Chain A
């Protein structure tokens, strides 16, 4: 049994402008000790997917239309708020993108760590404080005792993200969800924070869902990759497969748009032309079809199913259909990567 199993998840948001179909039929699994990366551009539904896991999609604005989220075999969507609170922050915890705004500005950071311990582990106040200081040290912040008493604005961005990680790890969760944890940070700090997450995974066997739009980060730390586009999962495979045998044209586009430093030719960056689909009225066919170089008439008409292209590798693209002409491979790109 896997640690987390998401099945046919469908999430909508109701707004004045209409209903946003943010996530459409997403399914994946996370095994113990595994890092799963979810890749995609803004608005692809990756954040919403994990927010649904954390029970952060709230009515009346947001609604989980259908699907299952099984955590250790337990259906999270059926749990009461109270039962869910027993899991949130304790067995599944989350690190948000913007550490600047994700910490309460008027509460001492120490207290923001220790309150998790107080509520989930029922320890005494002194004990919680001692453990919180321990956590601050563990995420690599010196002067932990003094830092405990400080407020978020006294920390740098990277430090604040470390505090967020300390909060998330306080109760030794089985699953850590990191929603673009390094996007708001400098490149050097990014590496440190990623290193920290890597260490946690190795030492504590914590499973990680890592949301990112940076394929470099994926290559470095993920085991499995899910590529999302327009609220749909378009490709799912191991990290090796992603780089050696990518199947979906959108994935190709992503790989092509990585700047290549070693290339001697002065090559321009290759962006993916066009803009992401309007989620208010998504196209009836493949969401990527209007931007896809290889689109066929069928792509405009219906949403492709997931085709199995290799063991544990599936792709939502009609090019894999037996009827499709054999028009494209990824050879040119393959040479570059």
Chain B
């Protein structure tokens, strides 16, 4: 059955990621305790090694890690604060999820609207303008757009706070920077999809039925045009996750992305591994949900088939 096969692939993916991450972490030259400012006293070092299980043979370390992973225990941060990785993720998820969701909604709503309007007014000035803006939007990376927005809208015009997190005003610039790329991609995608649909025979049928224009456009046109957008949410989600890494850094937002980037520089293995696995898990689940929901929404695809390309 399709769903079971899909869930198995999901688990396999997560396991591969966890194992790869583990191997990679072990390959890194040096460790967090021996690198900086000379060595710690031998005894202290041994204590630390014991505390994090680093003195066990590798297979044992791997098994312990996997065992803990199954119970969603991602271990302790090595940063000395004594916080667990779970705590760190929990403290960052609020900001990251808020930012991600706002961005997702903004990108989808405005992207779809823009794409449909551009298609309906095909070859008009509006269409050309929208598509030039969209192509430009795709070309400006979010980590470039963010400082520019910061400079002009926050520092010069003082419309929004420069950085930090807390009120809704704080969410505007980061989500704007984060949404621009996906929004542009969705707009272009929806436009071509809608143009394609408008050339379909069933649109002629709908017209020949003498239906009101809004019904032709909305029920027969837009519905069919935006169905494929669902398959877009997966990649969109990936780009959001990676996007938050830089955006949270630029705007000093206390989200998971910032902790992740910090942990890389601190060689904080457990946090690197924990967040990577957490991200992958979310992503894999989202991809799964999209896939399954697509099969429910689009009547042409059945759950038993092996899946479209």
Say if the beta carbon of B291 comes within 8 Å of chain A: no
**Cross-chain contact of B227 among A84, A101, A102, A106 (Cβ < 8 A):** A106
Query: Whole-angstrom distance from the CB of B64 to the nearest CB of chain A?
Result: 50
Query: Whole-angstrom distance from the CB of A180 to the nearest CB of chain B?
Result: 12
**Cross-chain contact of B209 among A86, A93, A101 (Cβ < 8 A):** A93
Q: Is the CB of B223 within 8 A of A164?
A: no
Interface size (B, Cβ < 8 Å)? 23
**Contacts A104-B220, A107-B220; A87 near B300 (Cβ below 8 A):** no
Query: Whole-angstrom distance from the CB of A312 to the nearest CB of chain B?
Result: 30
Say if the beta carbon of A214 comes within 8 Å of chain B: no
**Cβ proximity bits A113-125 to B, threshold 8 Å, 1 near / 0 not:** 0011001100000
- In the docked arrangement, what's the CA distance between A198 and B220, Å? 31
Q: Is the CB of A151 within 8 A of B210?
A: no
Q: Is the CB of B224 within 8 A of A106?
A: yes
**Cβ proximity bits A185-214 to B, threshold 8 Å, 1 near / 0 not:** 000000000000000000000000000000
Say if the beta carbon of A71 comes within 8 Å of chain B: no
Q: Which of A60, A96, A102, A119 has the most CB of B within 10 A?
A: A102
- In the docked arrangement, what's the CA distance between A116 and B215, Å? 11
**Cross-chain contact of B219 among A85, A90, A107, A151 (Cβ < 8 A):** A107
- Chain A contacts for B220, CB-based, 8 A: 104, 107
- Chain B contacts for A54, CB-based, 8 A: 207-208
Query: Whole-angstrom distance from the CB of A209 to the nearest CB of chain B?
Result: 13
B:193-220 near A, CB below 8 Å: 200-202, 204-213, 215, 219-220
Query: Whole-angstrom distance from the CB of B36 to the nearest CB of chain A?
Result: 60
Say if the beta carbon of B30 comes within 8 Å of chain A: no
**Cross-chain contact of B205 among A55, A86, A103, A106 (Cβ < 8 A):** A103
Query: Whole-angstrom distance from the CB of B161 to the nearest CB of chain A?
Result: 45
Query: Whole-angstrom distance from the CB of A116 to the nearest CB of chain B?
Result: 5
Say if the beta carbon of A88 comes within 8 Å of chain B: yes
B:168-206 near A, CB below 8 Å: 200-202, 204-206
Say if the beta carbon of B298 comes within 8 Å of chain A: yes
**Contacts A115-B215, A151-B299; A106 near B223 (Cβ below 8 A):** yes
Say if the beta carbon of A89 comes within 8 Å of chain B: yes
- In the docked arrangement, what's the CA distance between A165 and B145, Å? 55
**Contacts A151-B299, A151-B300, A153-B300; A104 near B206 (Cβ below 8 A):** yes
A:59-117 near B, CB below 8 Å: 60, 81, 84-90, 93-94, 96, 98, 101-107, 115-116
- In the docked arrangement, what's the CA distance between A109 and B212, Å? 19
- In the docked arrangement, what's the CA distance between A88 and B300, Å? 29
Q: Is the CB of B210 within 8 A of A84?
A: yes
Q: Is the CB of A88 within 8 A of B201?
A: no
**Contacts A153-B299, A153-B300; A104 near B209 (Cβ below 8 A):** no
- Chain A contacts for B123, CB-based, 8 A: 60
Q: Is the CB of B215 within 8 A of A90?
A: no
- Chain B contacts for A96, CB-based, 8 A: 201, 204-205, 208
**Contacts A106-B223, A106-B299; A164 near B209 (Cβ below 8 A):** no
Q: Is the CB of A104 within 8 A of B212?
A: no
Q: Is the CB of B204 within 8 A of A102?
A: yes
- Chain A contacts for B204, CB-based, 8 A: 56, 96, 102
**Cβ proximity bits B254-295 to A, threshold 8 Å, 1 near / 0 not:** 000000000000000000000000000000000000000000
- In the docked arrangement, what's the CA distance between A88 and B208, Å? 6
- In the docked arrangement, what's the CA distance between A90 and B211, Å? 10
- In the docked arrangement, what's the CA distance between A70 and B109, Å? 45
**Cross-chain contact of B202 among A84, A89, A101 (Cβ < 8 A):** A101
Say if the beta carbon of A167 comes within 8 Å of chain B: yes
Query: Whole-angstrom distance from the CB of B185 to the nearest CB of chain A?
Result: 23
Q: Which of A85, A86, A167 has the most CB of B within 10 A?
A: A85
**Contacts A101-B200, A105-B224, A153-B300; A115 near B205 (Cβ below 8 A):** no
Some 17 contacts from A to B, beta carbons below 8 A apart, are A56-B204, A85-B210, A85-B211, A88-B209, A89-B208, A94-B208, A96-B204, A101-B201, A102-B201, A102-B205, A103-B205, A104-B202, A104-B205, A105-B300, A107-B219, A119-B215, A153-B300
Question: Chain B: residues with CB nearer than 8 A to chain A?
Answer: 123, 200-202, 204-213, 215, 219-220, 223-224, 227, 298-300
